[in-house]
Amino acid sequence: GDSVTQMEGPVTLSEEAFLTINCTYTATGYPSLFWYVQYPGEGLQLLLKATKADDKGSNKGFEATYRKETTSFHLEKGSVQVSDSAVYFCALSARGAGNQFYFGTGTSLTVIP
Amino acid sequence: DVKVTQSSRYLVKRTGEKVFLECVQDMDHENMFWYRQDPGLGLRLIYFSYDVKMKEKGDIPEGYSVSREKKERFSLILESASTNQTSMYLCASTSPGLASRGAYEQYFGPGTRLTVT
């Protein structure tokens, strides 16, 4: 079945460091891919998405490229800030599946000044 | 601005009680979902609904039921709460995806942290 495997955390970085959170997926067909962010005490918010191969999603300095050949959607940011401290979830939704989502287990990021 | 609201942020119930968690969305979305979130396990789908009065089991439906009498409201029911149902419960809604455009994002409520003692 469809699934997402996400890099385990927690991840701790210094401010202005480079961030990569790995995400790979298994899916039949052509899924859409998403990164969500969850700040403490809140629900999930969409960070970025990509709906087809080679698409790059970007938002707030974060980027991820939909790589069909490696079935990956790694999240990157060139210079993290303390305010980026949160839990990040990779997710996929297979087309025609009623928009059912499959989430990774989440990666906790802490950025220290 | 899409809004998904959940009836309580924090809830404490006793074992054996019947518990209702309510979720309301204001964007006329067809699809609604209930997840539970536990450390190290991510989000697990409990139930979802494609339309009024329709429901489908997710990955972990045991011990739960749902109700969708109106399009904007999706309720999660714990018939007899148990301590292993202590968790964060998240509701989400979305429109159906389009084959030509891919899936739409799911919009999440703030969550209800339920403690069963």
Is the omega angle on the peptide bond into residue A113 within 30 degrees of 0, that is, cis? Answer: no
CB B52 within 8 A of CB B71: yes
The verdict on a CB contact (< 8 Å) between A96 and B99 is yes
8 Å CB contact of B105 and A52 = no
Per residue in A28-80, pLDDT tens? 878 899 999 999 888 999 999 998 899 999 999 999 999 999 999 999 999 99
* Residue A57 near residue A40, CB atoms below 8 Å: no
Q: Is B34 on the interface with A (CB under 8 A)?
A: no
Per-residue pLDDT of B2-55, as tens digits, reads 689 999 999 999 999 999 999 999 988 889 999 999 988 889 999 999 889 889
Which chain A residue has the Cα nearest residue B94? A99
Rounded Cα distance between B16 and B27, Å, is: 35
Q: Which residue is listed with tokens 């996400």?
A: A6
CB contact under 8 A, A96 and B95: no
Please state whether A29 falls in left (phi above 0), alpha (psi between -120 and 50) or beta: left
Model pLDDT for residues B86-116, shown as the tens digit of each residue? 999 999 998 876 655 667 889 999 999 999 9
State residue B95's pLDDT score: 80
Is A99 close to B99, i.e. CB distance below 8 A? no
Query: In sequence order, which residues have a C-beta less than 8 Å from that of residue A109 and are 6 or more positions away?
Result: A9, A10, A11, A12, A13, A19, A21, A80, A84, A85, A86, A87, A88
Name the residue of chain B whose CA is nearest to A8's CA: B40
Contact A105 B42 (CB under 8 A): yes
pLDDT value of residue A45: 94
Cβ <8 Å between B45 and A31:
no
Per DSSP, B83 falls in state G
Structure tokens at B19: 């518990």
For all residues of chain B together, what is the average pLDDT? 91
Rounded CA separation B76/A66 (Å): 34
With helix as H, strand as E and coil as C, how does chain A read? CCEEEECCCCEEEECCCCEEECEEEECCCCCEEEEEEECCCCCEEEEEEECCCCCEEEECCEEEECECCCCECCEEECCCCHHHCEEEEEEEECCCCCCCEEECCCEEEEEEC
Q: In this complex, do A44 and B103 lie within 8 Å of one another by their Cβ atoms?
A: no
For residue B7, the chain A residues in CB contact (below 8 A) are: none
Confidence of residue A98 (pLDDT cuts 50, 70, 90): low
A7-17: average pLDDT: 93
What's the pLDDT at A9?
84
pLDDT band at A8 (very low <50, low <70, confident <90, very high): confident
Return the residue in B106, B107, B112 with the most chain A beta carbons within 10 A, the one to mutate for interface testing.
B106
Q: Distance, in angstroms, between A29 CA and closest chain B CA?
A: 11
Q: A31: which chain B residues are within 8 Å (Cβ-Cβ)? A: 103
C-alpha distances (whole Å) from A18 to each of A15, A81, B53 are: 9, 10, 48
Q: Which residue has the tokens 């974060």?
A: A62
